[in-house]
Structure 1
Amino acid sequence: MPGPQPHHALPPALLASHEWQNACRNRDFARIFRLIKLKAGIYPSRIAALCGMTPSRVGEIMAGRRALAHIDVIERVADGLRIPGAMLGLAHRPWEIPSPDRVREHAPEREPEPAHAPTTSDPGRGDSLDNLLLLADGQVTRSTLTALRSSVEDYWRRDDQHGGASLRPAIVGHLGYVTQMMRAADDALGRDLRSLAAELARLAGWAYFDARQYSTARIYFTQALGLSHGQNDRLFMANVLSCMSLQATYEGNAVHAIALACKAQDAARAAGDQPQVMSMLHMREAFAHAALRDASSCHQAIARSREAYDLARGREDEAPSWILYFDETKLIVDTGIAYARLGEAQRAEPLIAEGLRREAAGRQRGRALHAYWLATTQLQQGNLDNACRSAILALDLTAAIDSPRVTGHLQEFHHRLAPYARETPVIRFEERMREAQR
C-alpha cells in the first residue's frame, strides 16, 4: 500500500470551528472525515491515499463501523491530513516544526540561552502558554518540585504497565513546563529542576523509542544528555547513553550500540562504585554483540553483567532509583534475550520462561515483550505449537498496552511463520491476530 502523500493545510475556518475541535478532542474520526469531505472538499478516496489506508476502511470509519485506536495510525492520519498534533492530543508533528533555515531567516534576535538549558522541550511550541501558566502559578516552590517528581514516577509506572506511546503528549507538556520554570527559579531550585528536566527528556525519548519513532527519540535523548552533562551528573549520562545504545541495536547499528554502551560504562565508572548500574550496562553491550553474532564478546559481556550484579546484592539502597527495575528477574530474562539474539535458542528458552514466570502481572508491556522472545526461541528450535502459543499470549497482552515496539515484534514473528502458513497453530495465531485488529 502506498504511503501518505503530500497535502496542503486544511482551511483555517474548518480548524477554528467548534464542531471540528470537538470531533478532534474526542478523536471522532467518523465526524472528522465527514467534515473534511464537506468543508475541505477532500473525498474518501483522497483521504485514503493521504493516510495510507484503503478506501473501504475509510468508508467503514465514516459509517461508524470501525474506529481508530492505535496511536501510530492516528499519527499517520494527523500527518496525512495536516491536522495539528495538539488538536488530537499528540505532540507537535514534524511538519509543524519550522526548518532551521526558516527559523534563522525569520526569527528575531534575542539574548542567548545558557549552554545546556533548551529553549523549549518541543521544538516549534511557542512560549506564551507556558509563560501564562507560570504567571498564574506564581513562584516556583519545593512543593511544586515534589509534585512534578511524583508525576514522573507515575509516568514510569504507567509506561511499565501499558507502554509509553500514549504518554508522549503529557510527558512533552511537562517537559516544556519544567523548562520554563528553570528560568524563573532561584539557584537552589534551578539545579533540581534541571535534573528533573533531564529525567523528563529521557522519559520522552523512551516513549518515542517505544513508539518506534527513532529520530524523535534521539532528539529527546540528546536533550537529556545535554542537561545531565550541564549538571555534571555522569551517572545519569550513563543512563541516557544506555537507552541510546538499546535504540541503536534496534535500528540495526550494533557497532554504534557497542560504542554507546562502552561510553556509558566509562561515565558510570567515573561516577563511582555502582555495580547495579554496571550490570545493566554490560547487558546492553551483550545485546549489541549478539546482534553482530559475536558469541565470544556476547558471553563475556553477560559474565561481566552477572559479576557486577552479584557485587550489587544487598546494596540496593546505594543505587539510584532509576536502576531498581534491573532486578534479578530482569537479569535472568535479559540474559535469555541476549542468547536468543545470538541464536542460542536452547540456552535462551528456559531463562526467558523463568523470567516470564517471575514477572509481576502488572508489567504488561514487559510480559508481552518477553512472551514474544520466548516464542522466538521456541520457533528457532522447531517447536511450532509452543511458539504460536507463546505468541498468542504476547498478542493477548497487547490488548492492554500501547507499544508499537511490541506490536512490531509480533508482526516480524508473523512474517517468520510464512513457511508454515498451512499449519494449524499458525492458522490459530493468525485468527487471533485478526481479532486483535478489529
Structure 2
Amino acid sequence: MTAYQPPTALPGELLEQQKMRAAIAAHDFGVVFSLAREVAKISYSKIAAECDIKPERVGALARGRGSITSFDKIAKISDALRIPGDLLGLAPREWEVANPPPRAPAGQTENAIVNREGTGTVLRREFFKASAGAGLVVGLPDLAQAGCGRRVGSKVPVQLRQRAARLRRLDDVLGGGDTFRVYLGEYQATKTMLRDGSYTEATGHALLSVLSEQAQQAGWAAFDAGKHADASSLYEDSRQAAVESGDASLAGNALAFLAYQRVDADHTAGTETAIQACHVAGPDAAPGVRALLNERLAWTYAISGNAGETERALDAAEAALSEGNKNPQPDWAAWVDRNELQVMTGRCWTELRRPLRAVPVLEDVLARYDNTHARDKSLYLSWLADSYLAAGEVEQAAAVTGRALELSAGVASVRPRARLAPILRQLRDHYDVPAVADVPERAKP
C-alpha cells in the first residue's frame, strides 16, 4: 500500500531533476514553486495554502523576488511538498521515519575523515561538499533523531558541543562555501530538537547555548561565502539564544560578529556594537574570549581611523592573553593566541595607513603561518601587500599578491578575492615594472 501523499506533494521524478535538486539545495523556493506548477501542475494558490504563505508572496518568489530563510517556514515547505529533509539540510522529517536515510559506511566516521593526512584534504573537502548537499548527519546519528517528542537527556548538549568543536576544525582548511550547509544543518537539527523534544530546564538552557554556538558557526560560514543576509540573521538568532541560555560570553561574541560585519558599511554602528559586545561578555569572561572581543573592537576602531583607541583595545587583548587560563576556555575561542593577536595588530596598522608598524609584524607572523590554512593566509597576505603598496614598495607588494592569489585558488570563500581586488587595481599603474607584469595573469580564475 502506498503511503498517503498530500495534494501538494512533489512527484519523485520531479525531485530527481537536477534543476529541482539544485534549487532545493540552495533554498531557492521561487524555482521550486515554479517547477511545481509547470511540471506537477500544483497551483500557486494550493502551494500558498499548504505552505502557509500568502499567495502574492508565492508569486513574487516564483518571479525571483525575495527569499525564505526562516527555519520554521523551510520546515513547513518541506512537510507540505514532501521534500526530504536531507535535501534541505534538515534532520529527517516525521513522515520520513519509515524510510530513514542510509548511514555512513562502517568505519567512515567523522573523525576518520577529518584526521586524514596528505591527500586527505581533498577527500575531506569532497566528502563535506557532498554531505552539505545531502544534509548528512555523520558520527552521532541518534542525536539527529532526539527531537520529535523524544526525551532529551543531559548528555546530549555535551555531545553536540563536542561535535561542534570537531566540525569547527573544518574552518581551518575549507571556506564558507564548503561548510555553510554543514553548519546550517547542525543548527537546524538542534533547533528542531528544542522545538519538538522534551527536557529539563537545565538541559534546555544547555541546548540553547549549543544552538547559539552553532548559529555563530553557520553565520561565519555564510559571511565567508558572501551570504551576508543569512549571516546577519544567524548572528541575531545566536545572540537571542545566548541571552535566553544565560551565556554572556556567547551573547558578546554574537554582537562582535555583527560588529565585524557592520563596520564596513557604518563605522559608528560597528564600533558601538563592538563596545557593547565587550560589556555584555563582562570582565569575568575567559581570557581568550576577552582577547577576541577586544581584537574585534580594535578592528572597528582601525576601520574608523581611530589609532589611539585601536592601540588601547589591542593592549587590552594582550593583557587578557597574559592572564593565562584561570577560567575554562570555550573551544570557539581557543584559536585566539598571540599569533592571532599579531595578525590583527598588523591588519589594524595597515588599515590605519601605518606601514612601518604593520609590515614587520605581518612579515614575522606570516613566516610561521602554515600554508594549509590557505584562506586565512591569503587574506593576511593581502594586508601585507597593502602595506607594501602604502610604503611605495611595489615589487614586494606584487610578490606577496602573487602568493596570496596562489593560496586563494580553489578556496570556497569570497573574501580573499574581494580583499585582493583593490590591490590589483593599484598595481595596474605599475605594469611597466617586471615584477608586476605577470600578476594580472595569475589573478585570472
- Within the candidate set 74, 80, 84, 1:124 is matched to 74
TM-score (norm 2): 0.69
Residues in 1 aligned to 2:225 and 2:15: alpha-carbon distance in whole angstroms? 27
User: 1:26 deviation in Å?
Assistant: 9.2
Match of 2:273 in 1: 260
Code of the aligned partner of 1:419: D
Residues in 1 aligned to 2:148 and 2:311: alpha-carbon distance in whole angstroms? 56
Higher RCO (C-alpha under 8 Å, 6+ residues apart): 1
Contact 1:121 1:172 (C-alpha < 8 Å) held by counterparts: no
Match of 1:192 in 2: 206
Cα offsets for 1:245-283 (capped at 9, x unmatched):
11112x33221111111111111226x153332222222
Asked if 1:269 is matched to 2:282, the reply is yes
Identify which range, 186-195 or 217-226, moves more after superposition: 186-195
Match of 2:387 in 1: 377
Structure 2, unmatched stretches of 5+, are 1-9, 34-46, 58-68, 80-84, 86-90, 98-144
Residues in 2 aligned to 1:158 and 1:333: alpha-carbon distance in whole angstroms? 21
After TM superposition, the structure 1 = structure 2 runs for residues 174-189 of structure 1, keeping only pairs within 5 Å, are 174-183=186-195, 184-187=197-200, 188-189=202-203
Cα offsets for 1:303-349 (capped at 9, x unmatched):
22222322x2x317632222111101001111010100111011101
Asked if 1:216 is matched to 2:230, the reply is yes
After TM superposition, the structure 1 = structure 2 runs for residues 42-81 of structure 1, keeping only pairs within 5 Å, are none
Residues in 1 aligned to 2:212 and 2:29: alpha-carbon distance in whole angstroms? 32
User: 1:137 deviation in Å?
Assistant: 10
Match of 1:4 in 2: none
- Within the candidate set 286, 293, 304, 2:305 is matched to 293
Residues in 2 aligned to 1:120 and 1:393: alpha-carbon distance in whole angstroms? 40
Asked if 1:225 is matched to 2:245, the reply is no
Residues in 2 aligned to 1:19 and 1:105: alpha-carbon distance in whole angstroms? 22
* Cα 1:123/1:396, change in 2 over 3 Å: farther
* Cα 1:405/1:316, change in 2 over 3 Å: farther
Contact 2:165 2:332 (C-alpha < 8 Å) held by counterparts: no
How many percent identity over aligned positions?
23
Residues in 2 aligned to 1:149 and 1:273: alpha-carbon distance in whole angstroms? 19
Structure 1, unmatched stretches of 5+, are 1-14, 33-73, 85-96, 108-118
Contact 1:345 1:377 (C-alpha < 8 Å) held by counterparts: yes
Contact 2:359 2:384 (C-alpha < 8 Å) held by counterparts: yes
Contact 2:14 2:20 (C-alpha < 8 Å) held by counterparts: no
Q: How many residues are aligned here? A: 346
Residues in 1 aligned to 2:15 and 2:349: alpha-carbon distance in whole angstroms? 51
Residues in 2 aligned to 1:142 and 1:308: alpha-carbon distance in whole angstroms? 32
Partner SS, residue 216 of structure 1: helix
Following superposition, which runs of at least 4 residues in structure 1 exceed 6 angstroms of deviation?
78-81, 104-107
Asked if 1:284 is matched to 2:300, the reply is no
Asked if 1:351 is matched to 2:357, the reply is no
* Cα 1:361/1:141, change in 2 over 3 Å: farther
Contact 1:155 1:167 (C-alpha < 8 Å) held by counterparts: no
Identify which range, 210-219 or 354-363, moves more after superposition: 354-363
Match of 2:31 in 1: 82
- Within the candidate set 16, 25, 31, 1:21 is matched to 16
Contact 1:291 1:342 (C-alpha < 8 Å) held by counterparts: yes
TM-score (norm 1): 0.70
Residues in 2 aligned to 1:147 and 1:286: alpha-carbon distance in whole angstroms? 34
Residues in 1 aligned to 2:204 and 2:235: alpha-carbon distance in whole angstroms? 21
Cα offsets for 1:132-164 (capped at 9, x unmatched):
164789654566545533442233211121222
Root mean square deviation of aligned Cα: 3.5
Residues in 1 aligned to 2:180 and 2:423: alpha-carbon distance in whole angstroms? 27
User: 1:427 deviation in Å?
Assistant: 2.5
Code of the aligned partner of 1:256: A
